[in-house]
């Protein structure tokens, strides 16, 4: 469900409870808000009263409920966040009972981020020690740093720019994410896991190369929820039936798009751009086969039990283990276009090579 939480309401709750945040001005009046609580990115918002493009939890709608959420150390605020892969051993105490023992460690999220704004860039940083439930090393120490700043319209260099951008509102931002291993454990892989919570009901469009192989991380996705085309897959985002798909880096282009609709009736296209490296480990496999590595992009569809959202995700460069690396730097960019569906399809064709 789309909870239609406004920028004004988020500021109101954060101010009420003394939580630090900053905003970044994007193109065409849009903005995003970054919070120390969970190291989140909320938005984009067209103005103070408009709904967020990203899914945001309805705990913001009630002061008492929001206060209880903070007291409990809850994590599910919505927006865009950074976790750590692999899920096993860091998120489940028993892979044989994966869902019932799934645990989001408070040291990771909401964590202990510190936030600084300089000019129109926001930096967030935290040191983390979390428990490893399955390895010889019982604790894993690392740091996560994020710099969030403006992203220019990738269409601007095309000769057809004026045609493609006519009657379309654009805004964009990017984040550089740094991960540093801080302990003696050189055996356990580690990588950033970037998760963007999105509003149903819409369609994820994933371009691919060759004959697509995707991985069902949970129950197999129903045949009526996806359509396979020659060079892309369309997946229905519903927020009411659980599935998680992983897409192999060897076949990804590093871009995918989500077609959604605002409460006002306006259509939008949200494009994600990340560095896709087929030689990277990409260490997060499904719980039934945790060593089935190689997926760089994911789509998670919630059953509705956590609020009715979906997640548009990617993994970053793998460090530790046998990689010989102790640091990674990843960049993820977000391009938002709001306009009529016909124009958005033209933009999708230009940037993704596919139309809905």
Helix, strand, coil shares of the chain, percent, nearest 5, are 20, 40, 40
Whether 240 is covered by a domain: the verdict is yes
CB count in 10 Å sphere of residue 37: 20
Contact between 138 and 132 (Cβ < 8 Å): yes
- What CATH number does the domain containing 273 carry? 2.70.98
Question: Residues near 104 by Cβ (< 8 Å), separated by ≥ 6?
Answer: 75, 91
- Would you state the pLDDT for residue 138? 77
Place of tokens 């000769």: 159
- At 251, phi and psi to the nearest 5? -115, 0
Whether 39 is covered by a domain: the verdict is no
Residue 136, burial from CB neighbour count under 10 angstroms (0-12, 13-18, 19+): exposed
- Would you state the pLDDT for residue 18? 97
* Structural domains of the chain, count: 1
DSSP element (H, E) containing 345: helix 341-352
Rounded to a whole number of angstroms, the CA Rg of the chain reads 19
Across the beta sheet with 214-216, the strand order is: 21-25, 31-35, 41-45, 80-85, 191-198, 310-315, 295-301, 243-248, 214-216
Q: Which domain holds residue 265?
A: 79-352
Integer angstrom CA distances of residue 253 from 66, 180, 226, 249: 39, 26, 19, 8
- Would you state the pLDDT for residue 127? 97
- Would you state the pLDDT for residue 186? 67
Q: What is the chain's pLDDT, residue by residue, as a tens digit (356 residues)?
A: 678 899 999 999 999 999 999 999 999 999 999 999 999 999 999 999 999 999 999 999 999 999 999 999 999 999 999 999 999 889 988 888 888 889 999 999 999 999 999 999 999 999 999 988 876 557 889 999 999 999 999 999 999 999 999 999 999 999 999 999 987 666 789 999 999 999 999 999 999 999 999 999 999 999 999 999 999 999 999 999 999 999 999 999 999 999 999 988 899 999 999 999 999 999 999 999 988 999 999 999 999 888 899 999 999 999 998 898 999 999 999 999 999 999 999 999 999 999 87
318 three-state secondary structure: coil
Closest-CA residue to 107 (of 182, 188, 211, 215): 182
**Both tokens assigned to 113:** 């981020």
Closest-CA residue to 5 (of 179, 137, 13): 13
Q: Is the peptide bond before 321 cis (omega within 30 degrees of 0)?
A: no
Question: Residues near 61 by Cβ (< 8 Å), separated by ≥ 6?
Answer: 3, 5, 9
Whether 22 is covered by a domain: the verdict is no
Contact between 140 and 83 (Cβ < 8 Å): no
Q: Is the peptide bond before 44 cis (omega within 30 degrees of 0)?
A: yes
- Would you state the pLDDT for residue 94? 82
Integer angstrom CA distances of residue 153 from 238, 295, 335: 29, 27, 7
**Both tokens assigned to 31:** 């903005």
- Would you state the pLDDT for residue 46? 95
Whether 42 is covered by a domain: the verdict is no
Please name every residue paired with 283 in a beta bridge, in sequence order, or none if there are none: none
Whether 294 is covered by a domain: the verdict is yes
Whether 192 is covered by a domain: the verdict is yes
Whether 276 is covered by a domain: the verdict is yes
What predicted TM-score, i.e. pTM, was given to this entire model?
Answer: 0.96
Whether 216 is covered by a domain: the verdict is yes
């Amino acid at each position: 469900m789309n909870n239609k939480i406004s920028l004004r309401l988020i500021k109101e709750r954060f101010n009420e409870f003394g939580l630090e945040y900053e905003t970044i001005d994007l193109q065409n009046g849009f903005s995003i808000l970054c919070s120390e609580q969970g190291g989140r990115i909320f938005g984009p918002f067209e103005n103070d009263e408009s709904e967020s493009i990203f899914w945001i939890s309805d705990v913001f709608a009630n002061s008492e409920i929001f206060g209880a959420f903070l007291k409990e150390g809850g994590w599910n605020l919505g927006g865009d966040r950074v976790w750590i892969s692999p899920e096993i051993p860091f998120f489940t105490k028993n892979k044989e009972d994966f869902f019932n023992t799934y645990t989001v460690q408070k040291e990771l999220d909401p964590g202990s981020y510190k936030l600084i704004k300089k000019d129109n860039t926001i930096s967030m940083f935290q040191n983390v020690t979390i428990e490893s439930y399955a390895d010889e090393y019982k604790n894993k120490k690392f740091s996560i740093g994020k710099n969030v700043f403006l992203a220019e319209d990738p269409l601007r260099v095309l000769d057809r720019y004026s045609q493609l951008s006519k009657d379309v509102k654009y805004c964009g931002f990017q984040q550089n994410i740094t991960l540093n291993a801080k302990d003696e454990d050189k055996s356990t892989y580690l990588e950033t896991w970037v998760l963007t919570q999105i509003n149903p009901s819409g369609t994820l469009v994933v371009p691919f190369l060759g004959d697509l192989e995707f991985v069902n991380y949970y129950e197999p996705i129903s045949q009526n929820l996806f359509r396979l085309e020659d060079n892309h897959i369309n997946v229905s985002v519903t927020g009411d039936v659980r599935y998680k798909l992983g897409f192999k880096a060897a076949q990804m282009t590093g871009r995918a798009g989500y077609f959604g609709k605002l409460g006002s009736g306006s259509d939008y296209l949200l494009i994600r751009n990340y560095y896709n490296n087929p030689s990277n480990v990409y260490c997060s496999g499904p719980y039934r086969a945790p060593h089935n590595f190689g997926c760089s992009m994911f789509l998670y569809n919630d059953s509705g039990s956590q609020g009715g959202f979906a997640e548009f995700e990617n993994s970053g460069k793998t460090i530790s283990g046998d990689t010989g690396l102790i640091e990674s730097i990843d960049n993820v960019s977000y391009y938002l276009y709001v306009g009529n569906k016909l124009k958005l399809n033209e933009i999708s064709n230009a940037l993704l090579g596919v139309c809905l």
